[in-house]
Structure 1
Amino acid sequence: MPKIPVITPRRLMKILRSLGFQKDHITGSHFVFYHPQTKKRAVVPRHLKDLPKGTLMSILREVGISKEEFGSLL
Structure 2
Amino acid sequence: MKRLRKIAKSQGETVEIREGGSHTVVKIGSRQTTVPRHNEVNEITAKAIIKHMEASE
Smaller-chain TM-score range?
0.5 to 0.7
Higher RCO structure, 1 or 2 (CA under 8 Å, sep 6+) = 1
TM-score normalised according to structure 1 size: 0.52
Identity %: 28
Which runs of 4 or more aligned residues in structure 1 lie more than 4 Å from their structure 2 counterparts after TM superposition?
none
Q: How many pairs align?
A: 50
User: Relative to 1, partners in 2 of residues 1:30 and 1:63: Cα closer, same or farther, differing over 3 Å?
Assistant: same
Unaligned runs of 5+ in 2: 9-13
Q: Which has the higher strand share?
A: 2
TM-score normalised over the length of structure 2: 0.63
> Any unmatched runs of 5+ in structure 1?
1-12, 66-74
Match of 2:19 in 1: 26
Larger Rg: 1
